[in-house]
Homo-oligomer: A and B are copies of this chain.
Amino acid sequence: MENLDKIFSSLNKLSYGLYIVASSSDGKKNGQLVNTVFQLTPNPPRIAICLNKENLTHEIINKSGFFSVSILEEETPLPFIGLFGFKSGRDIDKFEKTSHKMEGDCPIVTENTLSYLNVKVVSKMDADSHTLFMGQVINGEVLKEGNRLTYDFYQKNKKGRTHKNATTFNKITEANK
């Protein structure tokens, strides 16, 4: 597409938060940084998330049928973002040194977390490189008050990078950093 640069520049104006999505199957816990989480319906409370098919968390959620979302605070340190955003659970145990709790088999990251959601997958939609999971929220709680971490803040104030598997990865923008 000839106009791909212009499309990417326009897409870069969309607003996102930053979240940890986590799950477990066969005793293996994993989680990853995600910017694409939104509420679909209030009643019943349902949300959508979008994950790259190559990611371990995608594989685990496909098996388990559940996941948690931890909504991160603005003060979240870069090493924590690096751990969940740029390392693979295939190489390391991301939960070894991360504060979390379990609700049944579902791991929930509580570190740097304003609030969390415990979600059961009810439907999936294929999007080629990614899958959109629709889930019903079965539990959730606010853990602390504070400012939420936005993707915009992360990119501007923390000069944050974007993983090649992210929904918003854009070679052109990334090359300009």
Using CB atoms and an 8 Å cutoff, list the residues of chain A in contact with chain B: 1, 3-4, 6-11, 13-17, 35-48, 50, 71, 114-117, 123, 125, 127-130, 132, 134, 137, 139-142, 148, 150-152, 166-170
Contacts and interface: CB of A to CB of B under 8 A. Distances in A.
Copies of this chain present: 2
Given A7-B139, A140-B3, A50 B38 contact: yes
B39 A168 contact: yes
8 contacts: A3-B139, A3-B140, A10-B71, A15-B148, A39-B168, A40-B132, A125-B132, A148-B152
Nearest to A4: B45
Contact of A14 (B38, B134, B141): B38
